[in-house]
Structure 1
Amino acid sequence: MSTPTPSLVGIVGLGYVGLPLGLQFARSGVSVLGLDIDSAKVDSINAGQSYIHHIDSDSIREQIDSGRLSASTDFSRVGDCGAVIICVPSPLNKNREPDISYILKTGEAIAPYLHPGMLVVLESTTYPGTTDEDLLGVLEKGSGLVAGKDFHLAFSPEREDPGNPDSRVAKIPKVVGGLSPACLEKATALYGQAIERIVPVSSCRAAEATKLLENIFRSVNIALVNELKIVYAAMGIDVWEVIEAAKTKPFGYMPFYPGPGLGGHCIPIDPFYLTWKAREYGQATRFIELAGEINTSMPQHVVNRVAEALNGVKKPINGSKILLVGLAYKANVDDDRESPTYVLMDLLKASGAEVSYYDPYVPVIRPSREHGHWAGTPSIAWDNETVGSFDVAIISTAHANVDHQELVDWSQLVIDTRNATANCSNRQHVVKA
């Protein structure tokens, strides 16, 4: 006998993870209810309008018109759902410790509306034990039901890759871990409606650990090339040339690229979830922590290179006009969470510089917990006169729709942290960092 699939799927959190997932379920013929405390997002979806750059409004409007997608701020409607997927933020607090408050508050909000046979899946990245300890406790307390007996509980890590045109939700294998074999079966059946390949693992904790491994792998390897960038530069060797040559090896090597620091909601954060949890078990994570230290030090390295370059033209940072080109944390997206550009802006401003930015995807800096002091700051105009008025331009994110040849032609001095000017002409005033 096959496992019945829920007739209505609720997705809590309509951001960079929840919205693409909801659209994929809807495209697959599943009815989806999007839930969010942000009424602006809910109103936009119901109006068929996208608020995420790489998701076009037509794709939302198509599913709204089909009747398979709707959005609401009313969490009592969870009671109408056969399954609820939680896709809310899981940041670090000011002490760089895990903050699972969004997860727990979501659990508290949906718990009164759980019903027997229902499935709850957490997708937010977190430490092993969050699902079967913390979230489970909140759901059982608020519902009076028992997880694994009255309702099903599972964890399935998100694998979104914003800005990558080859990344499709349906094509990315979905790791799933359940509280019990029945929970795993239920979750596998749910995702099997929308995702081509499901990868079951033995437990929620194994699934949580899988996500951490994936992003720690990236963090460690980015730290390696960031360190090599500095070492090779001291030897007069261009690390970008070395990487391009190394990646021609068809086995045993995967290219990673240096930059001005780590950004986004995963790689700068996820490793610290494991290092924090490991201490509970008396385990040290020296390798991971060292990688974190190297990556965290990169913005200061860039500032040092800026100071050296300005000194070369007899100017100090103090009083200089400095332009940051690219505010989003990665190329071709509008997501500026944890962007190293903000760290650069803060460091440069603290050194007395007059700081501005240009980013076609972020016309105005939005309010946030971490960088609220920059909220409301607009992107500059992209023209010869404006760009040329700055003492130095720093390429911190290399968007494809930014003409870096124009930047080189218009600027007095360019600091390139992304190798974006490699194919530009007239590079005598370009400095790599």
Structure 2
Amino acid sequence: MPADLAVIGLGHLGLPLAQAAVSTGIETIAYDPRLSSDLAAGRLPADEGSLTAADLRRMLSAGFRPTANPAELGRVRTAVICAPTPLGADGSLDLSHIGDAARALAARLRPHTTVILESPAYPGTTEEFLRPLLEEESGLRAGRDFHLAYSPGRLDPGSRTHGYTNTPKVIGGITPACTESAAAFYGRITDKVVRARGPREAETVQVLETNYRHVNIALVNEMAVLCHDLGVDLWDVIRCAETKPFGFQAFRPGPGVGGHGIPLDPNYLPHHSRTPGHPLRMVGLAQEINHRMPQYVIQRAATLLNEHGKSARAARVLLLGVTYKPDLADQQGSPAHEIATRLMELGAAISYHDPYVPHWSVLGRPVPRADSLYEAAAEADLTILLQSHRTYDLQGLAVKAQLLLDTRGATPVGAAHRL
């Protein structure tokens, strides 16, 4: 059965796109050999936090068709590649999943199909990596026989304000006709389409947006350390600073930086895309600062324990919230894993609580999950709030906990030791 759209890759980008498309009446198939059978049966991936089981049931009843059969890719008008691009061992993006998606699609690619890449990618990926794969396998030529474009993923998982429809979509095609074809598709599911000059510009939009987040988080993380040393309440500083109506956007510190948005440093670009002598030095420094935050949390925890006559060795430490973002199950890049690892290496006995994570392992060992939050906090020598889920009664928790370190500035003033 033909479909309007094929979403290739059903992770944090693909599933919300499919949901938005299905909700507007677009016939949608979703190709992902790893996840298709579970999704077809109504089972979400364990770490999928942006959709609920009820959302998936509604999608399936509206005609959403997960499939592991690549033959179905040859019967769609638009194909959007949302394959993951994790960091490789050398710090560069691993494009192998994009390659697999491209080969599966190219073998069935028909003329006049619109192909769009949404995966995080380096400037040049669409034209220099994806295009040759599609052309060689299909025998078709991009820009003449089929349309090819890039559109950076712009999602704020769990946001009640910014959804797929009201978030502008940036598009850059390899020809003006490719851009317009992609714009016509996204115009069906978003309120506003922004046309970039080409795919490189669209790809670089993602580089800028992602690096902007990491650089500003790094700045406020450094401010957190400085303000603690000076005895200044950073959270009050931010509260006051964000009243400035121009020239300032508030970011807040934390125990580390998680999420799917990976900072892209030109030092790790593919060789032909590098700009020798012009690295984004601030991005490298931001990564260094943000990577230090889990260790800083450990230092603060050890100091607090010591000030209360206890040692980190054999201390009972309760970690609250192990996901990367509040009110989601997604643990991608969460600093909780490194913090737990370091505490275990110090000899601490750790446990955790997270309403979205029923099971959690560190160093290959399951971490005990607290059934009763208040009892666990009362028994622990130290409780560390790593993620402030809405379900947490932080005022009540501060009363019950023997010692509470709040890395998110979410507890009432004076109720806990803040980062």
* TM-score category of the 2 structures, normalised to the smaller one: over 0.9
C-alpha separation between the residues in 2 aligned to 1:37 and 1:361? 26
Counterpart pick for 2:104 among 109, 117, 121:
109
Check if 1:420 corresponds to 2:410.
yes
Q: Please tell me the residue identity of whatever aligns with 2:264.
A: P
TM-score for the superposition, normalised by structure 2: 0.93
Match of 1:9, SS state, is strand
Counterpart pick for 2:7 among 5, 8, 11:
11
Instruction: Quote the residue 1:161 is aligned against.
Output: 156
Instruction: Quote the residue 1:204 is aligned against.
Output: 199
Instruction: Quote the residue 2:23 is aligned against.
Output: 27
C-alpha separation between the residues in 1 aligned to 2:365 and 2:182? 40
C-alpha separation between the residues in 2 aligned to 1:156 and 1:117? 19
Q: Is residue 275–residue 288 contact of structure 1 (8 Å, CA) maintained in 2?
A: no
Spell out the pairing of 1:49-64 with structure 2 (5 A cutoff). Answer: 50-51=44-45, 52-64=48-60
Instruction: Quote the residue 2:391 is aligned against.
Output: 401
Spell out the pairing of 1:213-292 with structure 2 (5 A cutoff). Answer: 213-266=208-261, 269-272=262-265, 274-277=266-269, 280-282=274-276, 283-292=278-287
C-alpha separation between the residues in 2 aligned to 1:378 and 1:46? 32
Shift in Å, 1:405: 2.4
Deviation per residue, 1:204-255 (Å, 9 max, x gap): 1100100111111111111111111111221111111000001111111110
Instruction: Quote the residue 2:90 is aligned against.
Output: 95
How many residues are paired up?
Answer: 413
Spell out the pairing of 1:376-387 with structure 2 (5 A cutoff). Answer: 377=367, 379-387=369-377
C-alpha separation between the residues in 2 aligned to 1:126 and 1:376? 34
Q: Please tell me the residue identity of whatever aligns with 1:85.
A: V
Shift in Å, 1:157: 0.7
Instruction: Quote the residue 1:3 is aligned against.
Output: none
Q: Is residue 80–residue 118 contact of structure 2 (8 Å, CA) maintained in 1?
A: yes
Match of 1:169, SS state, is coil
TM-score for the superposition, normalised by structure 1: 0.90
Q: Is residue 91–residue 98 contact of structure 1 (8 Å, CA) maintained in 2?
A: yes
Q: Please tell me the residue identity of whatever aligns with 2:392.
A: V
Counterpart pick for 1:80 among 75, 83, 87:
75
Match of 2:288, SS state, is helix
Shift in Å, 1:64: 2.5
Spell out the pairing of 1:186-201 with structure 2 (5 A cutoff). Answer: 186-201=181-196
Distance verdict in 2 for CA 1:18–1:219, change over 3 Å: same
C-alpha separation between the residues in 1 aligned to 2:185 and 2:50? 26
Sequence identity (%): 37
Instruction: Quote the residue 1:388 is aligned against.
Output: 378
Q: Is residue 37–residue 68 contact of structure 2 (8 Å, CA) maintained in 1?
A: no
C-alpha separation between the residues in 2 aligned to 1:34 and 1:308? 50
Distance verdict in 2 for CA 1:231–1:188, change over 3 Å: same
Q: Please tell me the residue identity of whatever aligns with 1:224.
A: L
Instruction: Quote the residue 2:33 is aligned against.
Output: 37
Q: Please tell me the residue identity of whatever aligns with 2:279.
A: A
Q: RMSD over aligned Cα, in angstroms?
A: 1.9
Deviation per residue, 1:9-46 (Å, 9 max, x gap): 0001122211111111111121110111224xx34443
Check if 1:347 corresponds to 2:337.
no
C-alpha separation between the residues in 2 aligned to 1:377 and 1:35? 34
C-alpha separation between the residues in 2 aligned to 1:375 and 1:14? 28
Instruction: Quote the residue 1:180 is aligned against.
Output: 175
C-alpha separation between the residues in 2 aligned to 1:84 and 1:262? 32
Spell out the pairing of 1:133-144 with structure 2 (5 A cutoff). Answer: 133-144=128-139
**Which of 26-35 and 381-390 deviates more?**
381-390
Q: Please tell me the residue identity of whatever aligns with 1:144.
A: G
Deviation per residue, 1:308-357 (Å, 9 max, x gap): 11111122212212111111001111110110111111111122222222
C-alpha separation between the residues in 2 aligned to 1:110 and 1:377? 41
Alignment gaps of 5+ in structure 1: 1-5
Alignment gaps of 5+ in structure 2: none
